[in-house]
Amino acid sequence: MADRLVYSPLRTALLISVLAVLSSVHGIGVNYGLVGDNLPKPSAVVDLYKSNNIDGMRIFNPNHDVLEALRRSNITLIVGVEHKDLQPLASDASAATNWVQTNIVPYSPSVSFRYVVVGNEVIPGDLAQYVFPAMQNIQTALDSAGLQVNVSTSVALSVLGSSYPPSAGAFTPEAQTYMKPIIQFLAGGGSPLLVNVYPYFAYRDNADQIALSYALFTSEGVVVTDGAYGYKNLFDAMLDATYAAMEKVGGKDVAVVVTESGWPSDGGFAANISNAHTYIQNLIDHVGEGTPRRPAPIEAYIFAMFNENQKEAGTERNFGLFYPDEQPVYPLSFV
C-alpha cells in the first residue's frame, strides 16, 4: 500500500463537498464491496454514504445486513444476484419468486431498489446461458409482486469483438448469441444495459498504443476521429463502441448505465494515487456531458467505496475511495 496522504479538515471537507456535487448533479453512485475482514459495519457505511451525500449504491448480492441498514436512507440501490443462483433461477420460476420474496419484498418500499443485476461479467462464459431466462423469471416475479424494479445484466467490454473505431463496435459471435435476445428484452421493457467500463485495464494492457492522457481524460484535443465524432478520452470511445454494438442487434433505444468504472491507487502498472485521483475527478466532471454518440447525462457508479483486503493481491485491493477506517484515499476537488 502506498503511503497515505496527510489530511487536513479542509481536504476532508473538499472530498465531502465533491461527492455531494457528483451524486446530486451527475447521477453518480459508488459500488459497495464486502470482500474484506476489516470493513465498517453496514450501518456505518450507510452513514458514510449519507454524510457525503452519495445517493446511489451498488451491492453484489442481497446482503440482508446491508439491506436493513439502507431502510429509509433514501439511497437508491442496485442489487446483484449471486452467480451460484443463476442456474436455479433460470430453470425454475418458483425459485425466482422465492428470491424476490426473500430479498426484495421484505425491504420495499423502505429500501429504494433501482435495478436487479442478473449476472456480473458472465457473458461470454459457462454461466452465460442462464442469464436471459433468469432475467425473465426475476422480472416476472418482481412484476407479480407489484414492484416497479427493472432487471438487467452487467457486462464487461470483453463482449465486444470490435471496438475501434467506436462506430465499428460489435459483439463477438459468442457474446451476440446471448446479448441479442437480452438487448431486445431490455428494449421491450425500457430497461438499460449495465456495463463495466475500465479505461485503466485497456491502458495497462496497451500502453504502447494508448496515451495515458487519453485514458485519464486529460488530452487537450481530439485523439480519435470517427466520422462526425471526435474522441478526447478512452471512456467515451469504449462506451460508444458499446452503443454501436447494441444498435446492430436492435438496441438503438436502449440506455446504458455504467455500473463500474475506477482506477487503482496502488498495486500495479500506472496504479498510483495521482492517476486514481485524476481519473475519478475527471469522470465526475465528465459524465454529465454524455458521449459524442449519445450526448446525454450518464448514470455511473464508481468502483469502489473501500479498499478490500481479501480480494486478489495487487490492483484489485486498491480501487477504493476510502480506507476501511473511513478516511479518504485521496481528496477530490473541482476546478
In tens, the pLDDT along 203-215 reads 999 999 999 999 9
Q: CA–CA separation, 85 vs 81, rounded Å?
A: 7
Per cent of the chain over pLDDT 90 is: 88
The residue ranges of DSSP E strands in 37-129, in sequence order, are 56-59, 76-81, 112-120
DSSP 110: T
Asked which of 9-23, 106-120, 234-248, 288-302 is least confident by mean pLDDT, the reply is 9-23
Say whether pTM exceeds 0.85: yes
Q: How confident is the model at residue 13 (pLDDT cuts 50, 70, 90)?
A: very low
The string of pLDDT tens digits covering residues 222-236 is 999 999 999 999 999
pLDDT at residue 28, rounded to an integer: 86
Task: Tell whether the model's pLDDT for residue 25 goes beyond 80.
Answer: no
pLDDT at residue 12, rounded to an integer: 39
Task: Tell whether the model's pLDDT for residue 24 goes beyond 50.
Answer: no
Task: Tell whether the model's pLDDT for residue 79 goes beyond 50.
Answer: yes
The letter for the amino acid at 78 is: I
pLDDT at residue 7, rounded to an integer: 34
Instruction: Tell whether the torsion through CA atoms of 222, 227, 229 and 234 is positive or negative.
Output: negative
pLDDT at residue 52, rounded to an integer: 82
Cβ atoms of 70 and 57 within 8 Å: the answer is yes
pLDDT at residue 332, rounded to an integer: 61
Cβ atoms of 159 and 174 within 8 Å: the answer is no
Domains detected in the chain:
29-322 (3.20.20.80)
Nearest alpha carbon to residue 301 among 57, 87, 36, 129: 57
The DSSP annotation for 264-306 comes to -SSSSTT-SHHHHHHHHHHHHHHGGG--SSS-S---EEES-SB
Residues annotated as catalytic are 121, 260
R_g of the chain, CA atoms, integer Å: 19
Q: CA–CA separation, 121 vs 203, rounded Å?
A: 20
Cβ contacts of residue 286 below 8 Å, gap of 6+? 217, 233, 235
Residue 202: phi and psi, rounded to 5, are: -65, -40
- SS3 of 330, please? coil
In the block, cell 439491506 appears at: 67
Cis upstream peptide for 124 (omega within 30°): yes
Nearest alpha carbon to residue 159 among 241, 264, 87: 241
Task: Tell whether the model's pLDDT for residue 29 goes beyond 60.
Answer: yes
Q: CA–CA separation, 299 vs 127, rounded Å?
A: 27
> Contacts for 80-87 with beta carbons within 8 Å, 24 or more apart?
80/116, 80/117, 80/120, 80/154, 81/116, 81/117, 81/118, 81/119, 81/134, 81/138, 83/119, 83/120, 83/122, 83/127, 85/134, 86/118, 86/119, 86/122, 86/127, 86/130, 86/131, 86/134, 87/127, 87/130
